[in-house]
């Protein structure tokens, strides 16, 4: 039997090797894992304490003041929703485009999506003065006979983010069924066997199951693609539907979607680089993957930068005094530093990715993506805070400073996200086993040339 090598994963030999390598991730973790988990839980504890203090003592514990009613919480909400987007891009959009390099990274990216939406979803609730009545947001039958205002962008957000959480979690768990079955068949640990038996739904990998599964996966991808575009558009309309200067523009939806994918892809790279190192997955996350992702970061980064410039141009061209004032204030006012962090991290630093050397240099790429993450948080901060602090009437102008409670909760959100991700790495297969096999050459009895003569249709997976 001959054994060809895949072009995308040249160091992966056989199907069995994929199972062994991926399932090895689920083995007993090393000390560094527990140290990391402890740090994460401590930070999460600090964040939880900060929130508790806000719940007990009131929203005044945050730095929110009139007129800046939206601050670090909403900034972080938009940030995490944005982070979520690239997971769906990689798992659904690149699936529809038949991008052959997505197979090994999409599971981690998808997990990131689910946990990022899970994190984002907390912030509108944290932001509420009375978080225990958060369910007022939902349209549920009640004895008062009143319903939410369906004309409000904030309610659209409930539908968009709720749908996104449900669909991305469904897509994530459903796509994992065959891999969980592989984990079920490969483990001897009793609790794992029980868990995987339940989550695999009795999957056997029959041709019939695969036939329906492939179709269901395709349709879910087709549904998730417009969803990913709609969610951040709806989030952007939280701002754009109002008349606040700096917010009320039609460019917001595409600008936010591009920014979301930009930040999300950067976050995928930030997460995958250490995982690859710690778990020795060099054969699965190759420089080719990083190169492809870096190119996407570059493209979306250019769209974002173009949108920044367009905003400035439109402020000048519109001849609107408040609009002009807000943009002059952004670059030279009290928050000039935030604006310049945003412009430098999102506009200038990603330009380094034009160089192929930088794109395939993993430490350099890692550093750039951290800058992008920082820059994208500040982008939302700039949009939200500078506009609210500097609205139409000068007597209303007032600056906002995040309080320690807000900073602790924002830090805690990173810990919350990291906690889910760390647990995921040890419980569920972090690389798709079945899909990797689709891009590996199938084991054949006869040589490929012989097969081509007799069958034609059997051969290595297309495109490799």
Partner 1 sequence: MSAAAAHGTLGVYDALDSATETIERLRSAGLKRITVFSPFPSHDLEHALHAGESPVRIFTLVGGLTGAATGFAFPTWASMTWPLVTGGKPIISIPAWVIIAFELTILFGALSTVAGLFISARLPQRRVMQVYDPSFSSDRFGILVLPPAGREAEVRDIMREGGAAEIREQVQEVKVGDL
Cβ–Cβ < 8 Å for 348, 375: no
- Of 225, 299, 236, 315, residue with least CA distance to 262: 299
- Of 383, 69, 13, residue with least CA distance to 235: 383
Q: H or E stretch including 261?
A: helix 252-278
Minimum distance from residue 282 beta carbon to partner 1 (Å): 22
Give the three-class secondary structure for 340. helix
Tell me if 24 contacts partner 1 by CB under 8 A.
Answer: no
The residues pairing with 444 across neighbouring beta strands, listed in sequence order, are: 2
The position carrying tokens 């994963």 is 9
Tell me if 149 contacts partner 1 by CB under 8 A.
Answer: yes
Tell me if 289 contacts partner 1 by CB under 8 A.
Answer: no
Tell me if 142 contacts partner 1 by CB under 8 A.
Answer: no
- The interface region with partner 1, picked from 192-200, 273-281, 328-336, 354-362 by CB under 8 A, is 192-200
In angstroms, the CA 141 to CA 79 distance is 32
- The interface region with partner 1, picked from 14-22, 49-57, 275-283, 370-378 by CB under 8 A, is 14-22
Taking CB under 8 A as the criterion, the residue among 36, 46, 59, 185 binding partner 1 is: 185
**Of 196 and 421, which has the nearer Cβ to partner 1?**
196
**Binders in 413-442 for partner 1, by CB under 8 A:** 433-435, 437-438, 442
Cβ–Cβ < 8 Å for 368, 353: yes
Minimum distance from residue 443 beta carbon to partner 1 (Å): 5
- The interface region with partner 1, picked from 28-36, 53-61, 220-228, 332-340 by CB under 8 A, is 220-228
**Binders in 231-270 for partner 1, by CB under 8 A:** 234
Residue 79's alpha-carbon distances to 46, 84, 379, 448, in angstroms, are 21, 9, 9, 49
Taking CB under 8 A as the criterion, the residue among 107, 184, 330, 359 binding partner 1 is: 184
Tell me if 118 contacts partner 1 by CB under 8 A.
Answer: no
Minimum distance from residue 144 beta carbon to partner 1 (Å): 9
Q: Classify residue 195 by burial, with Cβ atoms within 10 Å: 0-12, 13-18, 19+.
A: middle
Give the three-class secondary structure for 444. strand
Cβ–Cβ < 8 Å for 251, 245: no
Tell me if 464 contacts partner 1 by CB under 8 A.
Answer: no
Tell me if 211 contacts partner 1 by CB under 8 A.
Answer: yes
Taking CB under 8 A as the criterion, the residue among 182, 235, 343, 365 binding partner 1 is: 182
**Of 95 and 371, which has the nearer Cβ to partner 1?**
95
Taking CB under 8 A as the criterion, the residue among 21, 220, 281, 410 binding partner 1 is: 220
The CA R_g of the chain, rounded to the nearest whole Å, is 24
- Of 271, 258, 233, 254, residue with least CA distance to 113: 271
Taking CB under 8 A as the criterion, the residue among 5, 193, 248, 426 binding partner 1 is: 193
**Binders in 151-180 for partner 1, by CB under 8 A:** 151-152, 156, 159-160, 162-163, 166-167, 170-171, 174, 177-178
Tell me if 137 contacts partner 1 by CB under 8 A.
Answer: no
Please state the φ and ψ torsions of residue 143, each to the nearest 5 degrees. Answer: -70, -20
């Amino acid at each position: 039997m001959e054994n060809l090598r895949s072009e995308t994963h040249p160091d992966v030999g056989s199907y069995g090797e994929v199972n062994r390598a991926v399932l090895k991730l689920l083995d007993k973790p090393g000390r560094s894992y527990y140290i990391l988990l402890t740090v994460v839980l401590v930070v999460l504890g600090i964040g939880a304490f900060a929130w508790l203090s806000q719940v007990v003592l009131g929203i005044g514990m945050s730095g929110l003041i009139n007129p800046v009613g939206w601050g670090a919480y909403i900034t972080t909400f938009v940030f995490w929703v944005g982070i979520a987007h690239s997971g769906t891009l990689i798992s659904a959009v690149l699936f529809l485009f038949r991008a052959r390099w997505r197979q090994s990274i999409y599971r981690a990216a998808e997990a990131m999506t689910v946990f990022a939406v899970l994190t984002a979803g907390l912030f509108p609730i944290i932001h509420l003065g009375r978080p225990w009545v958060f369910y007022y947001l939902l349209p549920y039958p009640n004895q008062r006979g009143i319903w939410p205002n369906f004309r409000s962008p904030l309610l659209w957000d409930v539908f968009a983010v709720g749908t996104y959480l449900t669909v991305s979690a469904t897509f994530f768990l459903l796509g994992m069924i065959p891999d969980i079955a592989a984990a079920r068949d490969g483990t001897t640990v009793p609790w794992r066997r029980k868990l995987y038996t339940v989550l695999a739904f009795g999957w056997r990998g029959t041709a019939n199951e695969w036939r329906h599964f492939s179709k269901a996966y395709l349709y879910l991808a087709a549904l998730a693609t417009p969803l990913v575009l709609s969610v951040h558009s709806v989030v952007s309309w939280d701002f754009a539907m109002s008349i606040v200067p700096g917010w009320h523009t039609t460019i917001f939806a595409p600008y936010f979607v591009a920014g979301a994918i930009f930040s999300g892809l950067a976050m995928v790279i930030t997460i995958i680089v250490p995982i690859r190192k710690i778990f020795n997955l060099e054969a699965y996350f190759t420089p080719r993957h990083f190169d492809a992702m870096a190119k996407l970061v570059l493209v979306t980064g250019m769209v974002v930068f173009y949108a920044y410039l367009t905003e400035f141009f439109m402020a000048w061209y519109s001849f609107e005094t408040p609009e002009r004032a807000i943009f002059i204030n952004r670059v030279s006012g009290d928050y000039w530093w935030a604006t310049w962090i945003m412009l430098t991290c999102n506009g200038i630093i990603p330009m380094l990715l034009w160089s192929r050397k930088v794109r395939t240099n993993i430490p350099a790429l890692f550093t750039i993506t951290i800058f992008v993450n920082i820059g994208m948080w500040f982008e939302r901060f700039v949009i939200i805070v500078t506009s609210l602090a500097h609205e139409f009437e000068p007597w209303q102008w007032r600056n906002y400073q995040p309080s320690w409670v807000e900073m602790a909760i924002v830090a805690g959100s990173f810990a919350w996200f990291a906690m889910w991700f760390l647990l995921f790495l040890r419980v569920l297969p972090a690389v798709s086993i079945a899909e990797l096999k689709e891009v590996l050459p199938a084991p054949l009895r006869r040589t490929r040339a012989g097969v081509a003569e007799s069958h034609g249709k059997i051969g290595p997976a297309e495109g490799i």
